């Protein structure tokens, strides 16, 4: 019932977290959302859906951060999770070259499915393990630049750069959505949502035959 957000100058953004199994995306988002509370306030934590409200110079942003099912057998379900999202956080582990490849695949898929509507941020996590680095920083940054994504290096463990990353993403999403009509009326919202779904579904039909299921 987060409905007062319909007022101008306030946004509801859906952000999906994507990345291979143990790149630390869960710790990343928990660090961001639950940091203050982790030790003392919260007895149980669910990492699949988290909410964070921020206020950037008077602009209210309500971030709904969705973790996606990461196991290989759930790969085909990706579109159900990331459709109609405003931003995506693509996490790789700087010590794991493969995880960076996965990020590249995700970027391709997202761009194909959602076009440029979605703001991407590529995150190299675990910089506390700098000595084991296997992903070249320059290469990652160049790649991010080429696909129009932001690039950050974080450490969930040391709480480095996590908040900055989400803040930058939020600012970018605000910027991307400011041009649009602030007061989304009942009908247009529904319609735009409907369109989104339709587009994704169409792609989804063609996609699995090509790669998703075929390769499994």
Footprint of other proteins on this chain (CB under 8 A)?
1-7, 10, 12-14, 26, 30, 36-37, 39-49, 51-58, 60, 62, 64, 66-71, 73-74, 76-77, 80-81, 84-86, 167, 186, 189-190, 193, 213, 216
Q: Do residues 88 and 202 make contact, with C-beta atoms less than 8 angstroms apart?
A: no
Please list, in sequence order, all residues whose beta carbon lies within 8 angstroms of the beta carbon of residue 145, skipping any fewer than 6 positions away. Answer: 151
**Residue 25 Rama label (left phi>0; alpha psi -120 to 50; beta):** alpha
Work out how close the CB of 82 gets to other proteins at its nearest, in angstroms, rounded to a whole number.
10
- Our CB check for other proteins shows the closer of 49 and 108 to be 49
Which letter does DSSP use for residue 48 in this model?
A: S
Work out how close the CB of 214 gets to other proteins at its nearest, in angstroms, rounded to a whole number.
11
Work out how close the CB of 97 gets to other proteins at its nearest, in angstroms, rounded to a whole number.
23
CA 144 to chain centroid: 14
* Phi/psi of residue 176, nearest 5 degrees: -65, -30
- Our CB check for other proteins shows the closer of 145 and 189 to be 189
- Our CB check for other proteins shows the closer of 2 and 97 to be 2
- Our CB check for other proteins shows the closer of 142 and 211 to be 211
Cα angle, residue 44 at apex, residues 51 and 91 outer, rounded to 5°: 50
- Our CB check for other proteins shows the closer of 34 and 137 to be 34
List of long-range contacts for 109-114, beta carbons under 8 Å, 24+ apart: 109/78, 110/18, 110/82, 111/147, 112/203, 112/207, 113/79, 113/82, 113/83, 113/199, 113/200, 113/203, 114/82, 114/83, 114/85, 114/200
Work out how close the CB of 76 gets to other proteins at its nearest, in angstroms, rounded to a whole number.
6
Work out how close the CB of 113 gets to other proteins at its nearest, in angstroms, rounded to a whole number.
15
């Amino acid at each position: 019932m987060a409905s007062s957000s319909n007022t101008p100058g306030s946004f509801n953004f859906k952000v999906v977290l994507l990345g291979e199994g143990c790149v630390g995306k869960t710790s990343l988002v928990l660090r961001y959302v639950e940091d203050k509370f982790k030790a003392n306030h919260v007895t149980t934590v669910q990492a699949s859906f988290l909410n964070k409200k921020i206020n950037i110079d008077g602009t209210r942003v309500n971030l709904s951060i969705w973790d996606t099912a990461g196991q290989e057998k759930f790969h085909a379900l990706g579109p159900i999770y990331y459709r109609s999202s405003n931003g995506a956080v693509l996490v790789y582990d700087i010590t794991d070259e493969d995880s960076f490849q996965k990020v590249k695949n995700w970027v391709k898929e997202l761009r194909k499915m959602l076009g440029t509507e979605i703001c991407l941020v590529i995150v190299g996590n675990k910089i506390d393990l700098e000595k084991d680095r296997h992903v070249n920083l320059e290469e990652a940054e160049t790649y991010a630049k080429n696909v129009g994504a932001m690039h950050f290096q974080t450490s969930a463990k040391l709480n480095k750069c996590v908040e900055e990353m989400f803040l930058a993403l939020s600012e970018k999403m605000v910027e991307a959505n400011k041009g649009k009509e602030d007061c989304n009326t009942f009908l247009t919202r529904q319609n735009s949502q409907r369109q989104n779904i339709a587009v994704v579904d169409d792609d989804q039909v063609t996609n699995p035959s090509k790669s998703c299921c075929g390769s499994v």
